[in-house]
Amino acid sequence: MLKKIMALLAVLMLTFSSFSVHTEAASFSDLSDNHRFYEEMMYLEGEGIIAGYPDGTFRADQAVTRAAAAIMIGRALGLDGAPKDTKFPDVGKNQKASGYIASAVEQEIISGFPDGTYRPDEPVTRGQMAIFLSRAFNLKTEAAASFSDISPNMQAYVHIKRILAENITEGYPDNTYRPDLDVTRAQFSAFLERALNDDSAPLPEAGGSVTYAMNTNKVYHYSSYGGDVTFRYSGKKYENKWPIWDISVNGVQMTSLVNYEDSEGYYYGHPDSDLSQMMKYPVKAGESWNASLFGEEEIRTISSTTKTVKTPAGTFHNVVEVTSSTGIEYYAPNVGLIKMTLNDGEVVTELTKLTNR
């Protein structure tokens, strides 16, 4: 029994002594791998979507201009970037972005201002970013949006709801979205990468709107066996696919793990060894499967999909309950793991707080 209990705890605290992360060395002189959005920028550079300045810099924390945004979106979508005349008096054929701007206008991705200008050198705002990406990727699903600084009469309103539904970005802790805030080159790179690469596989029966993977935009704080365990997305992905999470115990960095899902289920583990399937998709009460935890077989069963579970982080509804010979785990929609108990009801791990990354 003790071995099973330790295996259960190890789901949260896997130690991978041979873990290796595949990243490319930064090709920009002013960019290091400790930048929050380093992996996203490296991915886009590898795809030929972003490039730096003639002096070898990327200037990640400068505001992204409307011209640069058009170039990045155009390259991502494979639009024609050959220089051409545009309908805007302030965008001539000789300008670097002219072809991408003209092509994006033709695709109804971007538009100008009421005075007929495009204003290529102005910064992109969070509101404009939502419009650009929503149109570029033809997003349709809308999330609820109750931010205090947006309203239905805003042009960006529906587009903000759509990028929220796709987990491309989120609001601020004070319940604002800040649609007029400028977006940096690094932030726009991250938003574009998220739009291009949807790591989570939405559940078919949920119409593509529900996930049980941990949200990479959040930091997860758990109480586990008397310790404070924190999960924070590292900004890196194993083989450009699986998000890598750094785990701290009582404030000390301890280890990392891979946490991801595909159309078959939700997994923890090491990419180079056996993975543990913590949940099976599609989610259905009564569904059972054989999961391997550290070389031992473990029969897991979805015993309920309609639980209401209260933790220090809040009350969660429509929670999925997964039982095994060891205990019970609870997964909240669009949040992930929120609680673990032993079969006798003792709470061994519980979500205490969910904060922005």
pLDDT tens readout for residues 291-304: 865 556 789 999 99
**Domain edges within the chain:** 2-19+209-356, 38-198
Structure tokens belonging to residue 183: 């977006």
What is the pLDDT averaged over residues 260-277?
A: 76
- Can you give the pTM of this predicted structure? 0.54
Tokens of 99: 């072809």
Query: What whole-number distance in Å separates Cα of residue 193 and Cα of residue 199?
Result: 11
Contact 348, 229 (CB under 8 A): no
Confidence check: pLDDT of 196 > 60: yes
- Taking residues 177-188, report their average pLDDT: 94
Dist CA 264 CA 178 (whole Å) = 37
Order of all β-strands in the sheet with 227-238: 275-280, 265-269, 252-262, 242-249, 227-238, 218-224, 347-356, 336-342, 327-332, 314-323, 296-311, 288-293
Structure tokens at 94: 């000789």
Q: Is 237 helix (H, G, I), strand (E, B) or coil?
A: strand
- Residues whose CB is less than 8 angstroms from the CB of residue 3 and which lie 6 or more positions away in sequence, other chains included: none
Q: What is the DSSP letter of 112?
A: -
Q: Are strands 347-356 and 336-342 parallel, antiparallel or unpaired?
A: antiparallel
Q: What is the pLDDT of residues 82-121, one digit of tens each?
A: 999 999 999 999 999 999 999 999 999 999 999 999 999 9
Confidence of residue 199 (pLDDT cuts 50, 70, 90): very low
From first CA to last CA, the distance across the chain in angstroms is 36
Q: Whose CA is closest to 351, among 228, 206, 264?
A: 228
Cβ contacts of residue 310 below 8 Å, gap of 6+?
A: 316
The set of residues, in sequence order, having a beta carbon less than 8 Å from that of 194 and lying 6+ positions away, is 40, 166, 167, 168, 169
Compute the average pLDDT of residues 201-205: 34
The CA-CA-CA angle for residues 160, 162, 166, to 5°, reads: 115
The conformation of residue 294, written as its DSSP 8-state character, comes to T
